[in-house]
Amino acid sequence: MKNKFTPSLYFLLSGIGCLLVWVLNLGLGSVAIPFTEIVSRILGNEFSKSSWEIIFLEYRLPKSLTAILVGISLSVSGLQMQTYFRNPLAGPFVLGISSGAGLGVAIWLMAGAAVGTLIPGIFGNAWMLFLAATSGSMAVLLLMSLAAWRVRDSMTLLIIGLMFGSLAAAIISVISFFSQAEQLKLFTVWSMGSLGSTGWNQLAVFFVATLIGVSPAMYLAKSYNAMLLGENYAQSMGVNISRLRWIMIISTGILTGCATAFCGPIAFIGIAVPHIARMILKTSDHRLLFPGSAILGAIVMLLCDTISQLPGSAQTLPINAITSLFGAPVVIWLILRRNFSKEF
């Protein structure tokens, strides 16, 4: 009797793998904390050194949880876009969604100081940063959705997405030119990408936003299955295309917006992880792909963050550099290896 790699086995192994990588991520850094101490602390015991407690609670734990949320957000949003646009190269970074979120952040950080003085005390900075990025990503995604009505060719739609990204980058350059040095430096540091600047207040906003963004995608998994065979087939199966479109825009805008707002633009995760999940699970059923991509995205982001920490050094590489360095070859390999036309 042949052993089959079932979805249940995938989720069991990936769950164990995510836990192991999480512990590894918590232990490595400029100050090494023994893994036995990390496990003991997770189980509720105290560290043998008081300095480790500060490092663990104030920096490494929120950073690792941020990595998990980023992996979930970008993977689920990428899967939604690939299915809805029926484009294997669709993703938050490729189609300009991340650029739109970056434009929202740029407007808030470099041109929104005056606006912030007009509405003091109504929203915290974490919420305003999230709202700015989400608004920018939703705007670009709405334009992409309108373009998808007129353009059916995947590559043409991809080029339109790249043009939207270039337009957003041009507007950011103009805003940067007229910004003050302090504001420009703040935006430049943000654009490099970092998981370490998210505190507990921002993490709470991030968690709520991720939960709101992921929930409708999981609930409408059957509708996304029908979309794989085209809009006409989906409508014949009772799918409300207009409703699904707006839900996809809102969900993807929230997920991409919150990830980009707090961590900067992060490439690779949204486009590559869903394909890797399909390859491993050997299915196009979104009831499996959504949770499968989410947990795989969390593992990949934790691994990238672990590599970026440069164990034994106080330096931390930009997370976007790591995801791009390892992600680009993976995407190229997937494109050359697989026939995406069979799945889209």
Kindly report, residue by residue over 166-204, the tens digit of the pLDDT.
Answer: 898 899 888 888 888 887 887 887 787 788 878 888 898
Query: Tokens at residue 277, please?
Result: 């999940």
Residues 155, 156, 161, 163, CA torsion sign: positive
Distance CA 147, CA 151 (A): 6
**Closest-CA residue to 89 (of 329, 275, 309):** 275
Classified as helix, coil or strand, 156 is helix
Stated pTM of the model: 0.87
pLDDT band per the 50, 70, 90 thresholds, residue 312: low
Distance CA 138, CA 257 (A): 8
Based on the number of CB atoms within 10 Å of its own CB, is 155 exposed (0-12), middle (13-18) or buried (19 or more)?
exposed
DSSP letters for 10-49 = HHHHHHHHHHHHHHHHHH-SSS---HHHHHHHHTTPPPSS
- Residue listed under structure tokens 């560290």: 47
Kindly report, residue by residue over 48-95, the tens digit of the pLDDT.
Answer: 888 888 888 888 999 999 999 999 999 999 999 889 888 887 888 777
Phi/psi for 248 (5° steps) reads -65, -40
Distance CA 267, CA 271 (A): 8
Classified as helix, coil or strand, 153 is coil
- The pLDDT score that the predictor gives to residue 152 is 65
Kindly report, residue by residue over 102-153, the tens digit of the pLDDT.
Answer: 888 888 887 655 444 444 433 346 677 778 888 888 888 888 878 877 776 6
Provide the CA 83 distance to its chain's centre, in angstroms. 16
Kindly report, residue by residue over 220-233, the tens digit of the pLDDT.
Answer: 999 999 988 888 88
Provide the CA 159 distance to its chain's centre, in angstroms. 22
Backbone Cα Rg of the chain: 20
- Which domains are present in the chain? 7-342 (1.10.3470.10)
